[in-house]
Structure 1
Amino acid sequence: MPETAIVLRARGVRKTYGGVTALREADVDIRRGEVHCLAGENGSGKSTLIKIVSGVEQPDAGTITLDGHDVGRLTPTRAVELGIQVIHQDLSLFPNLSVAENIAMVARVASRRRLVSRRDAMALAKATTERLGVSLDLTERASNLPVAQRQLAAICRAFAHDAKVLFMDEPTTALTWREVDALLALVDTLRAEGLAVVFVSHKLEEVFRISDRVTVLRNGEVVHAGEVKDLDRPTLVRVMTGQDVTEDRDVTELPPDTRPVLATRGLGRRHEFADVSFSVRAGEVVGLTGLLGSGRTEIAEAIFGMRPADTGEILVDGEPVRVRSVHDAIRAGIAYVPGDRLTQGVFLGQSIRRNLIAGSIDRLISRTGRLRDKAVQRTVTTAVESLRIKTSDVAAPVRTLSGGNQQRVVLGKWLARSPRVLVLNSPTVGVDIGSKEGILQVLRDRARAGMGVLVISDDVPELVSVCHRVLVVRRGRVVDEIASARMSVQAVTDGLTG
């Protein structure tokens, strides 16, 4: 590799936190005009490396060079001035400012301007969006944009300051597959412009689709670096996890006379969905998929009583149940794992122990109103062991866990109630390949024990891997059903595109 092709180089980077090694002598080379994937499971060291390169954290040892020059001690402002930028998962936009003002912000900070010119901001934003071929309402407040457009605004912001290296941390997590297509097309444009893009994603199909090279970290060490074309999916999974992980379809067929544990009849909610009728049998995993705005999440929230249906009925074990609130759903034996675990699924500042019993406190309280310590301990121990939650101390806050383990805590909270029906919205978003397969295996095991499972997701390979059937929602109606006999990624994709 010619030395002139390397825009960013890290050598011997080491970082420890309280005696725990997060990075161990990490070496990474990033070339200009390439898309470089940074891969690894949660806790592998990817985020730590990004924080160090962007000046958020200081390394204990090692050097970082940009265009062959040692950058010395980096700060976030200094990193931006040098052309190193990061688009975090939360995008870090100013919600009260316009799109144009957000796009121009980094350029203003880097130039150390104290006076704000809205006209100049508009001119810079317009020139940037036109250069990238992006269509955005530059006068709109950032808070009013959908997630996909906020992602585009964040990319334009980086490009407006002539970034040399752009880190994109899980950029497609909250996007539908059509929005992912548009984003990856924009990444192609950035690459053609000579920008070095470092792409972090747990979705391996995106890694193979967009990346030129990949660096894999495991337990803080670089265990592989090379061309993506030299790897296949099983090999990359093995390098990332240190073991063979099966991603094939694994579904146990059910007897045809198996009774439904959940059924909806003519379920509807004004302006959101209508005439939704389907069933989930005991031991069955059913997928519910559709594009953003199709009504899939609204249907799930109606079943759980978060946004009750206006019409139709819900049946559990063949009996109609009145679901006008979350408490009604819980009493009926329905549990719900939300799509946004950080704001809806867990109490980040509370302990793992408290989170695991939060869904079943009514079953753990004695007649005197006190928690029964032995019952609590039994519930927590069972959840940690059966779900393989990686923790050395259940008194630690949930925020100390990886994304995959946080999701297992959410699962454990509801599984402690032994519900008849488990509804999950995007259950593996933001978790690594090893944790993802572990979570899907939990769903298979619970289904085989007789639970009915409804999975809402637009991760088509995931649905094919775990579901007996997949229902497709379009404009608030179930328009297709892919049965087991014709289940494939292509069949589900065709159902989505209509």
Structure 2
Amino acid sequence: MEQPALLEMRNITKEFPGVKALDGVSLTVRPGTVHALMGENGAGKSTLMKCLFGIYAKNAGTIVLDGKEVDFKSSKEALENGVAMVHQELNQALTRSVMDNLWLGRYPKVAGLMVSESVMRKRTREIFEELDVHVDPKAIMSTLPVSQRQMVEIAKAVSYNAKIIVFDEPTSSLTEAEVEHLFRIINMLKERGCGIIYISHKMDEILRISDEVTIMRDGQWVATRHAKDLTMEEIIKLMVGRELTNRFPPKDNKPGEVILEVEHLAGKYTRLKDASFQLRKGEVLGIAGLDGSGRTEVLENLFGAMTKESGTIRLHGKEIKNKTPREAIKNGFALLTEERRATGIFGIRDIKENTVISNLKSYLAGGFCLSDKKMKEDTDWAIQAMHIKTPSQSTQIRSLSGGNQQKVIIGRWLLTKPEVLLLDEPTRGIDVGAKYEIYQLILDLAKEGKGVIMVSSEMPELLGICDRILVMSGGVLAGEVDARNTSQEEILTLAAKYV
């Protein structure tokens, strides 16, 4: 006999100008269970959760929490009534401490007037000890890697003693060890009777951690099944509405002569100590490594986004400096950053502006005027080529799903016609169908003679799409492997070499 529902969302509808984001979607979550929510980017998963959490006002439908009908008008009201959410895009006060971020808006006070730092510190340590989170409460958020910031956000959600906790792509920035840690926290919450809503594109995680799975497509409910009765192939078919037989396109690019040479690259004030490698024309070069290994710093130093301490960069045999991103773009480099919300998109600007922003010189139509016609044509190209789901070019980019935002950024950089494309976690938070499209785009660029360097936390992705893989460990290049003749075990062994 099934337990009574802890949360019921019935026939939820949400409309934005020009698009119906949710069309009569229902979801039931029972106490002490993990209910996975799956679907392609733009399917409406995050929108449904934002309606629950009081970020969006639903147009129709009913929400019942613990037997009582609710309609939260703000996230503060949701939190006060036992609903917490760990968002996919971290929105933290980066210049404040971990402790401040944990208690923002609910600081413990002495005599109702003065904020008590000692009480804050004590409560923070208690929560971190309970969850086995090893982060300094006094550390400034901006100094922490994304994975630790994610764990702080998870600890914050747990600290509300919520009845329902929503995890939106919680493992997109976590290492394998940290994923295991998160799963232990989720199992502890289940034992307390908490209801967990888990949004992820990682199907192996879904099948392992979930009790029930609800699948959405194009803003509509498709199916709800017990996780034990589902296979990866069935989930994909329900998500995309078609069979997807191959996870990766065929690797038919043919690397040619060396176009980029990097010797003893080291970053100032970063983890990167020493990296030397070559990139060939038409090659997809992967970079693997544990969190904090210096893999992102390799890309940021090449792009001039970080200060280079030492090392030489040669493009076609000619030494270049790339002291700034502007200089790097001029030299034919493009960088897709790991955190699209913080460093990738201009949230309040529209799709067109976000698409053309890195290529404005090509739209000059005399004097300081820009050709609106040419900008619209290029934006149309990006929307079509990247299969971006958007009502129009004038839609604010922040209203798109995370995956569609990522596609806009990739389209932006392709318009600059880069010779070397640097990709940091290019498929983070992107569904299986869109991932395939991005993989195909990467391989098409390689076939056109572009050089691609790609950082990824997902080893199957690196093995499936790359020609060679560099492995970083402790800020040093620990080794290089042929993607066709290596294994995850060999890569992990190299990744742990200097830890």
Which TM-score band applies after superposition, normalised by the shorter structure? 0.7 to 0.9
Instruction: Indicate yes or no: 2:320 matched with 1:325.
Output: no
Distance 1:54 1:483, change over 3 A: same
Distance 1:206 1:420, change over 3 A: same
Quick one: distance in 1 between partners of 2:96 and 2:325? 36
Distance 1:56 1:339, change over 3 A: closer
Which residue number corresponds to residue 481 of structure 1?
480
Structure 1 residue 122 displacement after superposition: 5.2
Between 238-247 and 138-147, report the one with greater CA deviation: 138-147
Instruction: Indicate yes or no: 2:59 matched with 1:38.
Output: no
Quick one: distance in 2 between partners of 1:376 and 1:463? 34
Quick one: distance in 1 between partners of 2:85 and 2:62? 19
> Would the aligned equivalents of 1:289 and 1:472 in 2 still touch at CA under 8 Å?
yes
> Would the aligned equivalents of 1:164 and 1:195 in 2 still touch at CA under 8 Å?
yes
Which residue number corresponds to residue 266 of structure 2?
268
Aligned pairs (5 A) from 1:46-445: 46-67=45-66, 69-75=67-73, 76-90=75-89, 121=120, 124-138=123-137, 146-245=145-244, 246-248=246-248, 250-252=250-252, 254=254, 258-270=256-268, 272-366=271-365, 368-372=367-371, 375-445=374-444
Matched position secondary structure for 2:78: helix
Quick one: distance in 2 between partners of 1:119 and 1:285? 51
Structure 2: which amino acid aligns with 1:321?
Answer: I
Structure 2: which amino acid aligns with 1:247?
Answer: R
Quick one: distance in 2 between partners of 1:403 and 1:472? 28
Which residue number corresponds to residue 469 of structure 2?
470
Cα deviation, 1:366-388, whole Å, max 9, x if unaligned, reads 45443345644543343333333
Distance 1:74 1:474, change over 3 A: same
Cα deviation, 1:118-176, whole Å, max 9, x if unaligned, reads 56555554554444444454555666655444444444444344321111122223333
Matched position secondary structure for 1:36: strand
Structure 2: which amino acid aligns with 1:299?
Answer: V
Distance 1:60 1:482, change over 3 A: same
Distance 1:125 1:451, change over 3 A: closer
Structure 2: which amino acid aligns with 1:395?
Answer: S
> Would the aligned equivalents of 1:342 and 1:348 in 2 still touch at CA under 8 Å?
yes
Quick one: distance in 2 between partners of 1:346 and 1:406? 7
Quick one: distance in 2 between partners of 1:103 and 1:326? 34
> Would the aligned equivalents of 2:350 and 2:393 in 1 still touch at CA under 8 Å?
yes
Quick one: distance in 1 between partners of 2:327 and 2:93? 39
Where structure 1 has 5 or more consecutive residues not aligned to the other structure, the ranges are none
Between 426-435 and 117-126, report the one with greater CA deviation: 117-126
Distance 1:386 1:60, change over 3 A: closer
Between 447-456 and 14-23, report the one with greater CA deviation: 14-23
Cα deviation, 1:413-432, whole Å, max 9, x if unaligned, reads 22223222111111112222
Which residue number corresponds to residue 447 of structure 2?
448
Quick one: distance in 1 between partners of 2:454 and 2:301? 14
Matched position secondary structure for 1:86: strand
Matched position secondary structure for 1:359: helix
Where structure 2 has 5 or more consecutive residues not aligned to the other structure, the ranges are none
Distance 1:56 1:409, change over 3 A: closer
Structure 1 residue 365 displacement after superposition: 2.4
Between 88-97 and 403-412, report the one with greater CA deviation: 88-97
Structure 1 residue 97 displacement after superposition: 6.9
Distance 1:162 1:342, change over 3 A: closer
Matched position secondary structure for 1:168: strand
Q: How many equivalent residue pairs?
A: 491
Quick one: distance in 2 between partners of 1:225 and 1:480? 45
